[in-house]
Each structure stands twice: as C-alpha cells, then as structure tokens.
C-alpha cells in the first residue's frame, strides 16, 4: 500500500490526513503533541474566556475508526529525501521509531513567533500561539491585577496596570481588545483597592495602521473600537527593548510588567532544512518556496504547505484557511496520482478576512464586502464555531460565549503553574 | 467594623465566607490560589473527562458584588494569636501585606497527601488533589498508552500498560474505575499496535476491603464493578516501594510506569502550628483537636475546621460536606456573637456517602439506604452538579458528561507540559 506520512497535526496537516482517510493509502500522522489546536482561539485561553480543553482535540480521537491512519507522537529530527525516510526524535518518555519511510511526504510544520533576533525578549513577552504559552499569559495578566491590588507604591502599581501588546495583526488586535474587556468589564467589580478600568493597554505596531491585511477603512474602524475599550493604539512605533519591568518604544521607556508578543512569525525550522536539501529558495521569514503544486523542486513526492512555505509568485497570508485548502489540495494530488490523473496547480480561494475586537465588535472583509460591528462579529462567531473540531467543543464554546456575553464574565480566569 | 479573616478558599473557607457576606463584618478571604477548586472531581481532570476550567471558579468572581469582602492572594507564614495578627508570605510576584489583623480568624487549610515518610515516592506517584498534579497524572496516563504503542520490547510495553493506584478510598476507587474506562472504552479503537484493553490496572489497599467508610456489602459491590472494568483489586496488601519503573507490593516487584497516589492524607501544616501555639492535641494525621464549637482552646476568636481538625470525641470523615457544614457553623457563631447570642456546639449531619466507579456504576449509603448501580450513579451526578460552583460550570460539566456518556469519549485527553 502507498505510504503517506503527514508531518504536523495543525490545520494543514489535519486537513490533508482527513482528505486521505478513505483513500487506498497507509497514512501516518506525526505530531509532537497529541492534539489538534484551534490556534485562532488561543488568545481567548490567554484571557480566561475559554479553557484549553475546549479548543484542543485529541488527534487519535479524530482518526479512531480509520484503521489505515496511524497517529505517532514524535518529532522530525531530519529528512533523508533520497532514501524517502524521516529521522525521528522522541517526545518526553514516549519512544519513537528511529526512522520512518514514506512514498509521499506532506510537511506542514507551521510557524512560530520570532523576536527579531532578540530571543531574550521572549522570557518577558510571552506569545499566545501555543497552549502552554497562552496559559503563561493568562497567569501573568491575572496576577498583574492581583499585584496591583496589593501594591502600595503608586509607580509600581501603575507598572502592574500597564499592559503592552506588540504587533497589531489580528492576534494583537484581539489580545488588546480582550485585555480591554477584562479590565473594563469582567474584572470591573472584582477589586477593592484598585479600579481595573485604570489599566493602560498599549498596542504597538510598526506599520502606520492596525490590521494591515484589511482595507484601511476597516483598520480605522478597528482602531476606534479598540479605543472604546480603553486601548491606546500606537502605530508607526517600534519596540526597541523589553525587560522584566519595562518596554522601550522608540526612545520612550514605558514601565510595564506584562507584555504580550504578537509580532512577526518565522517558519518552522523544517522549512529551512527542506530548503537546504532541495536548494529551494527561502525568504526572510524562513519560508521555503514550493512549486505551483506545493511540492519541492526535484521531489514531486514531497509536499510542503501552510505558513512554512511560499509560492514563487506570491506569499499567501499565514492563516488557517490557506493551510486547510493546501492540505486538502495535497491530498487530492495524491489521490489523483494513485488514479493516474494529472492535477491543476494549487489555487487559493480567498473567502475573506475576519478579526474580532471585543463584545459585538469585529471587522470583516468578505470578497470586497466590508462589514464592521455586530454583523461582522456574528459572522466571526459562526465561522469559528463551525470550524472548531469536535461537536462537543462547539457546544462548550457556544455556552462559554453565551454565558460570557450575558454575564460579562470569564469563567476560566485561573492562575495556574505560577 | 468587626474584622473576619478566613484562611483557605476550599469548601470550608468558601462556605464560611459566603455565610458572612451579608453580615456586618469586614471579611478577608485569603488563599494562595485565585480559585475555588471542586476537589471531588479533580480525578476526572486526571483522566481527561473534564477540563480544569470546568471544576475551578475564580474566588473574586464569587464575591465581586460584596464590597465588604476582600480576596487576598497570599500564604500564611505564621500566626500571632496574642496580637490577633497573621504573618503573610507572598505568592509568586504578587506582593502581600506583611501582616493582617483580625477580630475573628477562621482557618480552613485543608490537607494534602502524605507518603508515609517516603517523600521520594511523590515524584513517581502523583496524586490528584491539586489541579496541577491532576494534569501531571493526565499527561502520564495518556503518555503511557502512547509509549506502549511504540515500544517494541514486550516487557517494557507491559510496564507501560500497568497502572497502579495506591489506596482504595473514594478517590482511589474512582481513579481506578476511570483508568479502566479509559482503557476498555474511550481509547479502545485509538491505537494500532496495542489493544488498550490489555492494560493491567491494580488497586492496592492495605485494609481488607475497598471503600472502608462504606458498609461491607457496598464495598463488595464496588469491588465487583471495578473488576468488570478490568481493575484487579489487591486488598490487604502494602506498598513497600515505588521507583520510576516499578511498584513493590509486599515483597512482589511489579513493573509499572504509572502510579497514582490516593492513600492517606495529612493535615495542612497550619494545623501543627496552631496546635503548638495553643497546646491543643494533634493526632497522627496532623489534625489539631478543636473545642465543640470548632474554636481553639483558650482562643474563642480562632476557629479551625475541615480536614485539618478533629473533635475531642471523634474524627469526622475528610469530605466536602463536613467542611461545608463546619464553615457555615463557624459563620453562624460569628453572627450570633455579634448579636450577643449563645451558640450550640457543632453537630454534623451526615447526609450520606457516595462514590462512583464508572459508567452508570456507583455506590451510595444514604442514612442506611444502600444503593448501587444506576440509581446510585444518578444520585452522584445530581449531587455533584448541584454543588459545583458557578452556573456556567454546571452546564459545561453536564454537557461533557452527556457527550461522554453518549459517545464513550473524553474530549479533554490532552498531554500538556510534558
């Protein structure tokens, strides 16, 4: 039987595996985590609106009935493209086979945040891409209010109540909006010595507007919505330093104890390695350039996709719909080949762009149709519930959101592992 | 205004604070965590049936509208009973006042697991009393099946598939039953190289039967239910050693990579300190002996309650209903005193004893009425949903349980922080 190995259980890898589950192949889905994470909502875990178990779903549970699909908890150590073999590394105590052969390889390793060469910033400025990091952010955010409540010194108290979000893409905008809601709404009556509404929330962006992938009119609307939530939008400004007690923006040192990183991403290191091995070009963000059918030059049996790759003629946005379409495309090519059929090149169908800011506030750009406010927010809700994996998660998240909306609360605001 | 300080936001402390929220007092509720944990269900977090955010609720959210209640994130370092003052220690980065004065002090510090002087066992045999430890157990349980799937050596594979639960009180019985369900039901179709039903689950108990606080007939029923789930019940046996790769039961060394500790508890160290300061007796489990009105000898203004105390004439079981009734009792005494009224001594109303084993299997002893099977299980469900704090949590847990029951699944089986 034709052996397919899919590396990565994110949006791209999961869709590829799902689209191949009924094909005449022997499929191995490899990930270093045992779950698929609905990354567009990790920022809601970071602000106590959702629990980890509501946006993550065990990979084995998805494929439990597909006897031709094997889920493997392991990491890729290296590729041997000539031998059609992966070298694996084990995760924790779980043993992994040393090598894994394939006939077709689909690599969907994703990306991670990059600190622009300042790796020491990562300690003070956690991101919200992984579940663990989102939980770190949650503990820090909530602890900052706790600390402000007991801090007697006015300057130190102000630093505890100053929250800086770096990067005003969708994640940064969503984070800043949620911190605004946390301060002005959820926690409003929770403290006795401080008024959480005094919190300063700064959203720092190097470009001249927020949400640069949206039309300027929607960026302006998003900025206004953010300001209503108490967020100060600082565009055209550069973060030049971050330490335990402050953020430096251009030349200005801003005392702050809580910084959230939502600026540039860099491709998985698997992209660099595949580039090296195939002499494929890589761009500044570490993405490897793939052929129009998402394969690597000289290796039609190796697909790479998602936000670790770019096409020759353009870079697609690093969002879930791109990865999902690419995953399904790669699976279709594999199925076509098994039937001796030719495949057309990959074509991205842009179904639109959504970002939420807060309670009943969002922006949407759907094929030129520009929405903001309640309608955009309703669209955002429906889309996110729809794509959430697992029927149970959909109901749970729906209830969390309904109760939060009705009560202005956030049930999952727990400080753990602190 | 009369200053009341409540130490501990568990069942006892929370009930005391709730019963005093409308009294003419200035109340401080002190805990080292920012949430109330519904401890009777942490074992369900440990087995992936529930998420942490579903059984924990922020303390501030409970008292958000009670302006006379202040929640303080801190630890007690020491008591100065003569000065009517607590010495505090800060938690993490959150500053705490050095001292805190009181007119009435209510100490509800709870208990923790004791390893019978073998503290080195704790590294290999995690417990499921705290949320963090339950998450460690969850990762270990799930990783063990992952490891067995990839392990090529038959003996090592068998060790990965051997699960030992130490102690057959309600928590141990519930844990063993849940591991049985996980292996025989939830994970049944999830693996390709192993059959999870081959898992050996051993429940080791030093007494001659499981659930010694129940009548022998129910213990026998519970043991039969456990055996149906594939659990081997080893009563009258003593654990004499635990290391990374095995458990020794009496003289027999059993290779096992996953051990869960559910044997004896010891009172919070606050009990020992209060005993020292007041010359109150302490018993072998570290509990301090309190007066019939739950105060400390010579200190009518200091109450201690829950499973860190015992009464002169008897030890009450270390369960939530005892702590809750004692918390409410202490609050009533405080209110009575403020009105110049005398209070009767504390009297425990035993409303019954429940333990669940698995799917539709439980035992209940309600004032002599002995139930088992579906009826006991239904009673268990209703009681646990009823007492769960927070309307939202009740719906979420209800849905999790309904979906798990219908699909035999467990959505929260994530391996994190591994």
Q: Decide if pLDDT at B9 tops 90.
A: yes
**Above pLDDT 90, what percent of chain B?**
86
pLDDT at B411: 79
Q: By three-state DSSP, how is residue B362 classified?
A: strand
Q: Which residue of B has its CA nearest to A67?
A: B192
pLDDT at A418: 37
CB atoms within 10 A of CB A199: 24
Determine, for residues A190 and B61 on separate chains, whether the beta-carbon distance falls below 8 Å.
yes
| CB neighbour list of residue B388: distance below 8 Å, 6 or more residues apart | B38, B41, B55, B394, B397
How close A328 gets to chain B, by Cα (Å)? Answer: 23
**Any idea which fold B2-32+74-113+265-338 has?**
FAD/NAD(P)-binding domain (3.50.50)
Determine, for residues B131 and A54 on separate chains, whether the beta-carbon distance falls below 8 Å.
no
Nearest CB among A70, A390, A391 relative to B192 is that of A70
pLDDT at B106: 98
pLDDT at A417: 65
Q: What pLDDT digit, counting tens, does each position of B111-124 carry?
A: 999 998 899 999 99
Half-sphere exposure of B152 (CA within 13 A, CB side): 3
Determine, for residues A411 and B390 on separate chains, whether the beta-carbon distance falls below 8 Å.
yes
**Structure token digits, residue B104:** 């009435």
d(CA A179, CA A203): 11
Number of residue pairs across A and B with CB atoms under 8 Å?
160
pLDDT at B418: 37
Half-sphere exposure of B315 (CA within 13 A, CB side): 14
Determine, for residues A403 and B411 on separate chains, whether the beta-carbon distance falls below 8 Å.
no
What predicted TM-score, i.e. pTM, was given to this entire model?
Answer: 0.94
**Structure token digits, residue B167:** 């102690």
Residue segments in chain A with a per-residue pLDDT below the cut of 50: 418
Determine, for residues A132 and B257 on separate chains, whether the beta-carbon distance falls below 8 Å.
no
d(CA B333, CA B300): 10
* CATH for B120-262 (2.40.30.10, 3.50.50.60, 3.30.2390.10, 3.40.640.10): 3.50.50.60
Closest CA to B179 of B155, B206, B161, B152: B161
Identified catalytic residue from B54, B151, B174, B181: B174
Closest CA to B274 of B59, B81, B127: B81
pLDDT at A90: 95
- B2-32+74-113+265-338 and B120-262 have identical folds: yes
Q: What pLDDT digit, counting tens, does each position of B204-224 carry?
A: 999 999 999 999 999 999 999
Q: Which residue of A has its CA nearest to B416?
A: A132
Q: pLDDT tier at B264 (50, 70, 90 boundaries)?
A: confident
Q: Decide if pLDDT at B389 tops 90.
A: no
Determine, for residues B34 and A393 on separate chains, whether the beta-carbon distance falls below 8 Å.
no
d(CA A247, CA A238): 10
Interface mutation vs chain B, best among A393, A404, A411, most B CBs within 10 Å: A411
CA-CA-CA-CA torsion for A118, A123, A125, A128, nearest 10 degrees? Answer: 110
Beta-strand ranges (E) seen in A176-334 are 200-205, 231-235, 239-242, 246-249, 252-255, 258-261, 265-267, 288-290, 295-296, 299-304, 309-311
Q: Decide if pLDDT at B88 tops 80.
A: yes
pLDDT at B19: 98
DSSP state at residue B72:
E
Mean pLDDT across chain B, nearest whole number?
Answer: 94
pLDDT at B400: 86
Nearest CB among B52, B94, B143 relative to A414 is that of B52
DSSP per residue, A312-330: SS-PPPSSHHHHHHHHHHH
Q: Are residues B347 and B292 in contact, defined by beta-carbon separation less than 8 angstroms? A: no
Element (H, E) at B361: strand B361-366
Task: Give chain B positions within 8 Å (CB) of A146.
Answer: 34, 73, 94
Beta-strand ranges (E) seen in A12-68 are 25-31, 35-37, 56-58
How close B113 gets to chain A, by Cα (Å)? Answer: 19
Q: pLDDT tier at B12 (50, 70, 90 boundaries)?
A: very high
pLDDT at A69: 98
Determine, for residues A52 and B416 on separate chains, whether the beta-carbon distance falls below 8 Å.
yes
d(CA B180, CA B230): 6
Determine, for residues B414 and A35 on separate chains, whether the beta-carbon distance falls below 8 Å.
yes
Q: Domain map of chain B by residue range?
A: 2-32+74-113+265-338, 120-262
Closest CA to A144 of A170, A118, A126: A126
pLDDT at B417: 65
Burial tier of A252 (Cβ tally within 10 Å: 0-12, 13-18, 19+): exposed
Interface mutation vs chain B, best among A139, A392, A402, A406, most B CBs within 10 Å: A392
CA A135 to chain centre: 14
Task: Give chain A positions within 8 Å (CB) of B189.
Answer: 64-65
Interface mutation vs chain B, best among A55, A93, A98, most B CBs within 10 Å: A93
d(CA B360, CA B377): 5
Q: Are residues B352 and B375 in contact, defined by beta-carbon separation less than 8 angstroms? A: no
Q: Which residue of A has its CA nearest to B97?
A: A150
Determine, for residues A147 and B396 on separate chains, whether the beta-carbon distance falls below 8 Å.
no
Q: Are residues A365 and A232 in contact, defined by beta-carbon separation less than 8 angstroms? A: no
Q: Are residues B165 and B175 in contact, defined by beta-carbon separation less than 8 angstroms? A: yes
Q: What pLDDT digit, counting tens, does each position of B318-362 carry?
A: 999 999 999 999 999 999 999 999 999 999 999 899 999 988 889
pLDDT at B371: 92
How close B222 gets to chain A, by Cα (Å)? Answer: 29
Q: Which residue of A has its CA nearest to B257?
A: A93
How close A319 gets to chain B, by Cα (Å)? Answer: 24
Task: Give chain A positions within 8 Å (CB) of B416.
Answer: 52, 131-132
Catalytic residue list of A: 174
Q: Decide if pLDDT at B28 tops 50.
A: yes
pLDDT at A359: 84
Determine, for residues B392 and A413 on separate chains, whether the beta-carbon distance falls below 8 Å.
no
CA dist B217 to B213, B359, B362, Å? 11, 20, 13
Closest CA to B226 of B126, B105, B372: B372
d(CA B57, CA B393): 8
**Any idea which fold A123-263 has?**
FAD/NAD(P)-binding domain (3.50.50)
How close B97 gets to chain A, by Cα (Å)? Answer: 7
How close A183 gets to chain B, by Cα (Å)? Answer: 13
**Structure token digits, residue A361:** 């506030």
d(CA B182, CA A60): 13
Task: Give chain B positions within 8 Å (CB) of A143.
Answer: 73, 92-94
| CB neighbour list of residue A230: distance below 8 Å, 6 or more residues apart | A180, A183, A184, A197, A199, A201
């Amino acid at each position: 039987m034709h052996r397919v190995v899919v590396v990565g259980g994110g949006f791209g890898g999961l869709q590829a595996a799902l689209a191949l589950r009924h094909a005449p192949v022997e499929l191995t889905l490899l990930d270093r985590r045992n779950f698929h994470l609905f990354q567009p909502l990790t920022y809601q875990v970071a602000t106590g609106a959702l629990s980890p178990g509501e946006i993550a779903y065990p990979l084995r549970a998805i494929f439990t009935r597909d006897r031709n699909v094997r889920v493997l908890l392991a990491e890729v150590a290296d590729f041997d493209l000539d031998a059609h073999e992966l070298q694996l590394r084990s995760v924790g105590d779980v043993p992994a086979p040393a090598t894994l052969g394939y006939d077709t390889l689909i690599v969907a390793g994703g990306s991670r945040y990059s600190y622009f060469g300042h790796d020491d910033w990562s300690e003070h400025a956690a991101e919200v891409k992984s579940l663990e990091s989102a939980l770190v952010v949650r503990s820090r955010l909530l602890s900052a209010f706790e600390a402000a409540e007991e801090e007697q010194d006015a300057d130190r108290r102000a630093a505890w109540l100053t929250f800086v979000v770096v990067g005003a893409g969708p994640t940064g905008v969503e984070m800043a909006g949620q911190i605004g809601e946390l301060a002005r709404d959820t926690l409003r009556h929770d403290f006795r010595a401080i008024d959480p509404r005094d919190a300063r929330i700064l959203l720092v962006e190097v470009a001249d507007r927020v949400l640069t992938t949206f039309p300027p009119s929607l960026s302006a609307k998003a900025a206004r919505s953010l300001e209503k939530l108490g967020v100060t939008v600082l565009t055209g400004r550069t973060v030049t330093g971050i330490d335990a007690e402050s953020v430096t923006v251009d030349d200005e040192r801003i005392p702050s104890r809580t910084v959230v990183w939502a600026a540039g991403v860099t491709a998985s290191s698997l992209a660099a390695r595949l580039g090296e091995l195939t002499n494929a070009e890589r761009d500044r963000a570490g993405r490897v350039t793939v052929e129009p059918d998402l394969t690597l030059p000289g290796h039609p049996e190796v697909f790479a996709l998602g936000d670790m790759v770019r096409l020759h003629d353009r870079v697609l946005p690093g969002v879930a719909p791109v990865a999902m379409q690419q995953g399904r495309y790669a699976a279709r090519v594999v199925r076509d080949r098994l039937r001796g059929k030719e495949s057309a090149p990959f074509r991205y169908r842009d179904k639109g762009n959504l970002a939420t800011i807060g309670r009943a506030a969002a922006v949407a750009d759907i094929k030129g149709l520009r929405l903001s406010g309640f309608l955009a927010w309703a669209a955002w809700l429906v889309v996110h519930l729809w794509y959430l994996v697992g029927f149970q998660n959909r109901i749970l998240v729906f209830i969390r959101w309904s109760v939060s909306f009705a009560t202005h609360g956030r049930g999952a605001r727990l400080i753990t592992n602190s």
